[in-house]
Amino acid sequence: DLSQGGPGLVAMSGLGDRQREARAGPDGRYHITGLPAGAFRVEALPATQQRDAFVVAIGLGNQEERGLPVQLVAGETTELDLDLREPASLQGQVTAAGKPVAGATIRLESTLSGRGGAQARGRSDGSGGYQISGLEAGDWIVQVTGPEGVLPVEQGLRLGAGEQRRLDLELPAGEIAGVVRDAATKSVIKGAVVSLIDDRQAGRTEGSADTRAADTMRALLGQLQEGASLTGAGHQRAHAGGRAVVADAEGRFEFRFLPAGRYRLTARVSGYVEGSEDEILLGQDAVRTDVVLTVEPAGTLRLEVGGDPESGSALNLSVFAVEGGDIIGSWLVRAGRSRTVHGLAPGRYRVTATTLTSTVEELIEVRAGEEARLEF
């Protein structure tokens, strides 16, 4: 039984990759059956915010030299009373540039073998203060994330049994803010998805920055289509390759709690060509930087394939930008149907129509805010 009678976890190591859990009774007694014979180490751990009270667990492996040794004999029941170690606690204040940060998330992950994952979580109050109790003694990874969900700042921490530790956490104070405008009319554009990518993220994989920005844009637009409220500046989302916000009704956007470094901004919105600002530098003092992000009205290209829809014939249509030669896309379009290509930058395009036996090529000019047409 747990000699202090309180809620806790009994962990047994030496079982390879297997793990079992069972709930202990109100009197603290536990009973684990079906164990193989052999040498093990057993310990009682305090309950945490992520673990139910009175849970008895058989842990992973014997990598940790912790707890009490016990030798199990086949066919016999072994009695082992355990002292439940006093839980530790963590408290402190979250700040940025010396000012308290409300609504920051503090997440603790245990580094104990077999017990990884989110073990405890807290949120800073209006004064930036936080407190998390019921923590196991041992090594932890502490992550603090700003209220808008930017990528976390991490550090290591070692807690002793019963320790009451104060740990003040500092978020980077850099800010990039601005407004999205129509390049032609200078009017503000609401609802643009603005993505922020730093040079370290952009350099991980060739071309990955644009891919991640596109993925974020699609995810945010999908949420908007589902009715989520993402119309205000400051609705920030973290993802594997950067962060994204949706510009508010006045075209404004803002990214906070950024470390020093070089950043790139892109803005995408229906009916416009993607706009970008490729060189934004936040110095070591990480001050606020304001930018005006402009987007140009896009053109549309409608590709039509003539013929009888019942014939089953089709053309493979491909669109290339004349300047630079980049391929815009390629589609199989059946007779009697069409394909509309949106979001094209004004300029000249080369369109090829291919069958198994021949290829036809046409050049066409696409103008801002207009629809160009080609028929094959």
Helices of type H across the chain = 199-202, 208-225
In the predicted model, what is the mean pLDDT of residues 134-157? 84
Average of pLDDT values for 165-181? Answer: 91
The pLDDT value given to residue 144: 93
Mean local confidence (pLDDT), 20-32: 70
Of 366, 242, 252, the residue nearest 301 (C-alpha): 366
Question: Considering only the top CATH level, what class is 88-170?
Answer: mainly beta
Residue of 2 and 358 predicted with greater confidence:
358
| Least confident range of 2-11, 63-72, 151-160 | 2-11
- Which pLDDT score is estimated for 289? 77
- Give the tens place of pLDDT for each residue, 212-269: 434 444 443 343 333 222 323 333 443 334 588 899 999 999 988 888 888 889 999 9
252 Cβ contact partners less than 8 Å away, ≥ 6 residues apart: 177, 178, 179, 188, 233
The answer to whether residue 286 scores a pLDDT higher than 80 is: no
**What's the mean pLDDT when you consider all of the chain?**
77
Strand order in the sheet with 314-321: 327-334, 314-321, 347-354, 359-366
- pLDDT higher than threshold 90 for residue 200: no
Using alpha carbons, select from 176, 189, 344 the residue that is nearest to residue 274: 344
Report the pLDDT value the prediction gives residue 167, as an integer from 0 to 100. 96
Are the C-beta atoms of residues 33 and 21 closer than 8 Å to each other?
no
* Residue 4 pLDDT level (bands cut at 50, 70, 90): very low
CATH topology identical between 88-170 and 299-375: yes
10, 56 Cβ separation under 8 angstroms: yes
Give the architecture (CATH level 2) of 299-375. Answer: Sandwich (2.60)
Q: Following CA atoms 11, 13, 19, 20 in sequence, which dihedral angle do they give, to the nearest 10 degrees? A: -40
Q: Which residue from 186, 139, 172 is spatially nearest to 294, judged by alpha carbons? A: 186
For 58, counting Cβ atoms within 10 Å of its Cβ (0-12 exposed, 13-18 middle, 19+ buried), the class is: buried
**Number of residues that this document lists for the chain:** 376
Higher-confidence residue of 3 and 133: namely 133
- For residue 17, the model assigns a pLDDT of 44
Lowest mean pLDDT among 73-77, 107-111, 229-233, 299-303: 229-233
Question: With 90 as the cut, is the pLDDT of residue 280 above it?
Answer: no
Give the homologous superfamily in CATH for domain 174-295: Carboxypeptidase-like, regulatory domain (2.60.40.1120)
DSSP 261-308: EEEEEEEE-TTBPPEEEEEEEE-TT--EEEEEEEEPBPEEEEEE--S-
- 98 alpha carbon, distance to own chain's centre: 27
pLDDT score at 55 = 46
Closest-CA residue to 219 (of 198, 238, 233, 199): 238
Domain boundaries, the chain: 8-72, 88-170, 174-295, 299-375
Residue 111: what pLDDT? 78
Q: What is the pLDDT of residue 20?
A: 55
Of 29-33, 200-204, 308-312, the least confident:
200-204
Q: Which of 131-140, 167-176, 215-224 has the lowest mean pLDDT?
A: 215-224
Name the residue with higher pLDDT: 23 or 259. Answer: 259
C-alpha distances (whole Å) from 259 to each of 106, 170, 280 are 18, 11, 12
The residue with greater pLDDT, 275 or 167, is: 167
Structure tokens at 322: 């004349």
Question: Which position has the token pair 């502490």?
Answer: 142
Position 71 scores a pLDDT of 83
SS3 content of the chain, % helix, strand, coil (to 5): 5, 50, 45
- Between 357 and 213, whose confidence is greater? 357
Average pLDDT of span 307-317: 91
Q: Which carries the bigger pLDDT value, residue 58 or residue 251?
A: 251
Tokens of 245: 């916000």
Average pLDDT over residues 199-214: 45
